[in-house]
Structure 1
Amino acid sequence: MTLRPFHLAFPVRDLAEARAFYGGVLGCAEGRSSDEWIDFDFMGHQIVAHLAPTAHNGDAAVNHVDGHGVPVPHFGVVLTLEDFGALAERMRAAGTHFEIEPYTRFAGEPGEQRTMFFRDPSGNAIEMKAFASLDALFAT
């Protein structure tokens, strides 16, 4: 199978906030936009922030994974370890509140990974993770 970029659309309460967070803090290049939505290049994937000021954002549920409450729903990407470290530093420098601080999940087990969770200004949960090798992505 050929890997292809994914597309994800999600609600935000304010486009200027979304632009500042995704473009400014995360460093995502902006693509097309209108008065109601903005496309962003999210590490090679297309995400679209749609203006929905009355939409409910936040946890629908929390699942317990490796001793942490993981917000559901959430989205994110798999980064290299180097990019993960640089992003964690950038998020800390921006004063980001982490739902789950950067740490190593499943240490010493199949699927060992670095992971962190944070929210955008509209409350959408985002997970960034990294593996020493992508071969571990689906390891059991």
Structure 2
Amino acid sequence: MANNINPFHLAIPVHNLETCRIFYRETLGCVEGRSSDLWVDFNFFGHQLVIHQKPKDDDSSLHTNPVDGKEVPVPHFGVVLSWKTFHALAKDLKQKNIEFVIEPYTRFKGLVGEQATMFFYDPSGNALEFKAFKDINQLFAK
């Protein structure tokens, strides 16, 4: 797997800009970049995440798909971290009393694609997944 990965840019809606600004900055430790009254840039583990103010929709229905016996929220986004960083983040989030949708665990144990994963929501209901592979070469393995 190549080490030179271009950063992605992702813009997501949030219904409370200040609450989400604090969440991404304080809870996840993302460094804040440029901002306005309606959006905030973050360094999201080396990628550009922008939270944009958007009024809360009345439709708050959630969709999930089963993966490894767990109900995975759709849509979701996140980052593949190193094994060590993943476990340090999981420990930190537990200490900050994050309510996990799927607690940190290892999925596909002993199979191709074995990975540590965890899911939780930001204050606006955006689902996040963080994962790690003991062998990063398994990222796209079949």
| TM-score relative to the length of structure 1 | 0.95
Which runs of 5 or more residues in structure 1 are unaligned? none
Deviation string 1:69-101 (CA, Å, 9 cap, x unpaired) is 000000000000110011001111111000000
Which runs of 5 or more residues in structure 2 are unaligned? none
Deviation string 1:98-135 (CA, Å, 9 cap, x unpaired) is 00000000000000000000000000000000001210
Query: Aligned AA for 1:6?
Result: F
The equivalent of 2:98 in structure 1 is 96
**SS of alignment partner, residue 29 of structure 2:** coil
Q: Distance in 2 between matches of 1:58 and 1:99?
A: 16
**SS of alignment partner, residue 88 of structure 1:** helix
User: Please, which of 54, 73, 76 is the counterpart of residue 74 of structure 1?
Assistant: 76
User: Please, which of 17, 25, 28 is the counterpart of residue 26 of structure 1?
Assistant: 28
The equivalent of 2:7 in structure 1 is 5
**SS of alignment partner, residue 116 of structure 1:** strand
Moved over 3 A (4+): 55-60
The equivalent of 2:43 in structure 1 is 41
Q: Distance in 1 between matches of 2:54 and 2:18?
A: 13
Q: Measured at CA, do residues 12 and 23 of structure 1 come closer, stay the same or move farther in structure 2, by a change above 3 Å?
A: same
Q: Distance in 1 between matches of 2:53 and 2:15?
A: 6
**SS of alignment partner, residue 31 of structure 1:** strand
Q: Distance in 2 between matches of 1:129 and 1:95?
A: 19
**SS of alignment partner, residue 18 of structure 1:** helix
**SS of alignment partner, residue 126 of structure 1:** strand
Give the RMSD, CA atoms, in angstroms.
1.5
Deviation string 1:41-83 (CA, Å, 9 cap, x unpaired) is 0000000000012246866421100000000000000000110
Instruction: Tell me, yes or no, if structure 1 residue 15 matches structure 2 residue 20.
Output: no
Identical amino acids, percent of aligned pairs: 55
Q: Measured at CA, do residues 58 and 130 of structure 1 come closer, stay the same or move farther in structure 2, by a change above 3 Å?
A: farther
Q: Measured at CA, do residues 78 and 58 of structure 1 come closer, stay the same or move farther in structure 2, by a change above 3 Å?
A: farther
Query: Aligned AA for 1:88?
Result: A
Instruction: Tell me, yes or no, if structure 1 residue 113 matches structure 2 residue 118.
Output: no
**SS of alignment partner, residue 92 of structure 1:** helix
| TM-score relative to the length of structure 2 | 0.94
Query: Aligned AA for 1:91?
Result: L
The equivalent of 1:129 in structure 2 is 131
